[in-house]
Structure 1
Amino acid sequence: MADAVFTGQEPELMDLLAARPAFTMHAQDGLCFEGVPLNAIADQYGTPVWVYGAGSMQARYAALQAAFAAQALDVHIHYAVKANDHLAILDIFRRVGAGADVVSLGELLRARRAGIAAENMVYSGVGKAETEIEAALAQGIGQFNIESAEELDMISAIATRMRITATVALRMNPDVDAGTHAKITTGLAENKFGIAAADIPGLYARAATLPGITVRGLALHIGSQILSPEPYALAYAKAADMVRSLRAQGQEVTVLDLGGGIGIGYHDEPGMNLAAFAAVVKREVGGLGVKLLMEPGRYIVGPAGLLLASVVLQKQAGKRFVVLDAAMNELMRPAMYEAWHGILPVDAVLFHGPARPADVVGPVCESADCFAKNRMLPDLATGTRVALLDAGAYGAVMSSSYNARPRAAAVLLADGQSRLITPRQRPEDLWADEILPYP
């Protein structure tokens, strides 16, 4: 869910803007996203506020589809709900025909509430509880990605008791280094995810004999925020070899889940080359004659969202601190992963003004509540606004009310109009579900 620590030269504000065609800077209106002035959003809904662009999500989904189509690949896209689980966003992907990749019963039920059929969902995750498995089977889940022999036995027993057949794929850990942040690599032997490749043939054969189980194929996922197609090439080559080996042993293999993890450019770089990625898929697994699944999340929604904040004050204490009304409880990624997010002033005059180093921080009582260090920014007076870019993935879903800070509002832009999709939490909402045991 994060990028590696950034050590290169930081892009200038103009370069950040130029790399993001959904953003424009108008002399009068200031920074606009999908044609809507962000100052108008802040005026209407307050700050901090999440701002998502439906057009950007649809365009990125279409670009991924087009890359596969150019290689004559039919890849079934299951949006990774964990990236951003808002009902309005799930509804966007339902409308364009996507399925869902879920990792909890809550995500499954959210996707169902948004109208995505359970049969068009893949249930991933290393720790599926019995109650979650039962509920998923009752809903008619399309596929479980199995993470261990123990989980396979658990699903077999539950499905048999319920007199239901569970469709499963075995998640193979290919032991491939994705070259990403250590906290979000998932395809190394030392990671908790998946089944060692050496154990797949025996477990696949056993799965084919278990009651309540139909085993269809393999799944794999090697990490997140991957910027090069080469790690995928290594992993997919190993998956293809495993498919051939299983078939040579008489097993039926009809599905291959390619996982997700396609990276984006958080600086001014382009991110993953989709044409190169699709070519790797075609070369390594395109001739297997299997149904291909993909689980993108960040790639589709990351650049389609931002966190809009206001400056509380500038503080000079040996160095300049720009204190925002947004904090680590809204956007956790910098504190958790040392993740880099671009920051743009919303005001056009400030955007073109002289810049000097500043640490951009929030008001939470933690030293980790820092969005950027020594970032080149203009003077930002109290009340001016800034946009924290590429916050559509792993932003709101990881947020909290730490320090008793009400959760931010969220707005969706579509066809040049803004629509409130989450109201700002009120202070009294923070304790609405709490109980005083001694009145």
Structure 2
Amino acid sequence: MDHFLYRDGVLHAEDVPLPQIAQAVGTPFYCYSTATLTRHFKLFDEALEGVDHLVCYAMKANSNQAVLKLIAGLGAGVDVVSGGEYARAKAAGFAGDKIVFSGVGKTREEMRAALEGGIRQFNLESEPEMLALNEVALSLGKIAPVTIRVNPDVDAKTHEKIATGKSENKFGIPIARAKEVYAEAAALKGLDVVGIDVHIGSQLTDLEPFAMAYRKVAELTETLRAEGHNIRRLDLGGGLGIPYERSNEAPPLPVEYGAMVKEVLGHLNCEIEIEPGRLIAGNAGILVSGVIYVKSGEGRDFLILDAAMNDLVRPAMYGAYHDIVPVIEAKAGTEQARYDIVGPVCESGDTFAKQRDMPPVGPGDLVAFRSAGAYGAVMSSEYNTRPLIPEVLVHEDQFAVIRARPTFDEIINRDTIPEWL
């Protein structure tokens, strides 16, 4: 469920009509719903009720400071994957003991900043990283809390570019080597091994791959405890999918995921961490764009928008599907038109949809891309010197610009011309 609904024929974000925002900030723009962000976090938190747990929002999905501050205020933890994200988390009000640091390539500088600023744990992904963190921690006179990410060799049955739990993926250590690596970690005086980390991929639409991975983690937990390790925390990653295509069967609900976690892992009496990003932010945001032209081609019509692949790269990068709907609702019985929906960037890849049926629209009309709150703005760029587009947060009948569109001068003036030119 989200809070983007038609009222009197006009698409609203909560209680705000989208044309009102478009008039104030121009198009294209991202718009996020406070009510949806709040609801989705609470669904996960309630799904694990009765189990010692922390929901750590995966901020790579949407790292705007206003979004982070909202989620921090709900009592969430946060999962970060870079020094910049760590700084964003601190600036948004997350306490150090609620920040989990993931990622395969943490630098010593990032490790040092997190240890000095406070950290819940590092999710380690390799032995070289483990040795580096031990050295940094000892140099600061600190002990770093860590989990070790194991790769369970489970096929998440998702897009190959967002699958992370198969043996050929770059993430974690092979689960077959876990006993050996945990023994190495336990011998390092700068580390405190607190648990196990696993994450098999993103946009999963079936619980069985999760259950397969978690059963392997349960077995490993008991094995490591028998070896003398105090395994008290299980970081299960994120990855639960959202329904991008409304006509398809919906992915499992958080409550169903939570029940599976309790069934597979509840007997271990471990603290459970989960790291949802897409399911919290995805359907909480839309991208609103204006129609520039409708162009007739050879056997097809092109709907040319003012949004482009630099604003929303998922269709070009992953072949991802987004529902695209008119902001002004078509009258009942309106015959559908068929379009290739494209942006103005000079790349054939700047295509959002091919031969998509939707109500007819024309120049100046507004359309909305649903389910664009995750991996939209955070992956955008200024390709073709197209400014990053505004982000807007709605709360009931109010809206605020939470990232402004830069001017061309602001973009150009970031460059520096050498004296010899």
Q: Above 0.5 in TM-score?
A: yes
Helix, strand or coil for the counterpart of 1:359? strand
Does residue 201 (structure 1) correspond to residue 179 (structure 2)? The answer is yes
Q: Specify the alignment match of 2:73 in structure 1.
A: 95
- Report the 3-state secondary structure (helix = DSSP H, G, I; strand = E; otherwise coil) of the residue aligned with 2:267: coil
Partner of 1:9: none
Superposition deviation, residue 23 in structure 1: 2.6
| 2:5 aligned residue (5, 18, 24) | 24
Gaps of 5+ in 2: none
Asked if the contact 1:53–1:305 (Cα under 8 Å) also holds between the matched residues in 2, the reply is yes
Q: AA paired with 1:238?
A: K
Match of 1:292 in 2: 272
Displacement, 1:350?
Answer: 6.2
> Aligned equivalents of 2:359 and 2:198: distance in 1?
45
Partner residue, 1:382: 363
Stretch deviating more after TM superposition (415-424 or 404-413): 415-424
Cα RMSD, aligned residues only: 1.2
Match of 1:7 in 2: none
Number of positions where the alignment pairs a residue of Structure 1 with one of Structure 2: 417
Separation (CA, whole Å) in 2 of partners of 1:234 and 1:183: 21
Does residue 360 of the first structure (1) align with residue 338 of the second (2)? no
- Give the AA of the match of 1:395: G
Please report how far the alpha carbon of residue 21 of structure 1 lies from its aligned counterpart in structure 2 after TM superposition: 5.0
TM-score if structure 2 supplies the norm length?
Answer: 0.97
Task: State the distance in 2 between where 1:422 and 1:232 align.
Answer: 36
**Whole-angstrom distance in 2 between the partners of 1:190 and 1:370:** 30
Question: Pairwise mapping of residues 3-402 of structure 1 onto structure 2 (< 5 A)?
Answer: 20-27=1-8, 30-69=10-49, 72-268=50-246, 269-318=249-298, 319-349=300-330, 353-402=334-383
Q: Which residue of 2 aligns with 1:15?
A: none
For 1:114, the aligned partner's letter is A
SS at match of 1:284: helix
Q: Which runs of 5+ in 1 are unaligned?
A: 1-19
Give how far 1:349 is off: 3.6
Counterpart secondary structure, 1:167: strand
Deviates more, 1:333-342 or 1:289-298: 289-298
Structure 1 pair 351–264 and aligned structure 2 pair: CA distance change class (3 A): farther
Runs of 4+ in 1 over 4 A off after TM superposition: none
Cα distance in 1, alignment partners of residues 251 and 312 from structure 2: 21
Cα displacement string for residues 77-111 of structure 1 (whole angstroms, at most 9, x for unaligned residues): 11001000000000011100001100000000001
Distance (Å, rounded) in 2 between the aligned partners of 1:21 and 1:283:
29
**Does the 8 A contact of 2:330 with 2:359 survive in 1?**
no
Which residue type is aligned with residue 60 of structure 1? H
Question: Counterpart of 2:369 in structure 1: which amino acid?
Answer: L
1:384-415 deviations in whole A, cap 9, x for unaligned? 00000100000000000000101101110012
Structure 2 CA distance, aligned partners of 1:353 and 1:23? Answer: 21
The answer as to whether partners of 1:184 and 1:224 remain within 8 angstroms in 2 is yes
- The offset of 1:169, in angstroms, is 0.4
Inter-partner Cα distance in structure 2 for 1:417 and 1:270: 31
Residue type of the alignment partner of 2:94: I
How far residue 351 of structure 1 moved from its aligned partner, in angstroms, is 7.9
Letter in 2 for 1:164: K
Superposed CA deviations along residues 132-161 of structure 1, whole A, max 9, x for unmatched, are: 111111112110001011110010111111
Question: In the aligned structure 1, how far is the partner of 2:303 from the partner of 2:7?
Answer: 24
Q: Tell me which amino acid in the other structure corresponds to 2:275.
A: E
Separation in 1, partners of 2:53, 2:333: 44
Residues 117 and 305 of structure 1, relative CA distance in 2, 3 Å threshold: same
Kindly provide the CA deviation profile for residues 242-270 of structure 1, in whole angstroms up to 9, marking residues without a partner as x: 00001111221111101001100001143
Checking the alignment, whether the CA contact within 8 Å between 2:240 and 2:279 is kept in structure 1 is: yes
CA-to-aligned-CA distance 1:219-246 (integer Å, 9 cap, x gap): 0000000111111100000000000001
Q: Distance in 2 between matches of 1:317 and 1:215?
A: 62
Task: Determine if contact 1:350/1:378 at 8 Å carries over to the other structure.
Answer: no
Letter in 1 for 2:60: K
The 3 A distance-change label for structure 1 pair 418 and 309 is: same
> Hey, what's the Cα distance between the residues in 2 that align with 1:352 and 1:90?
42
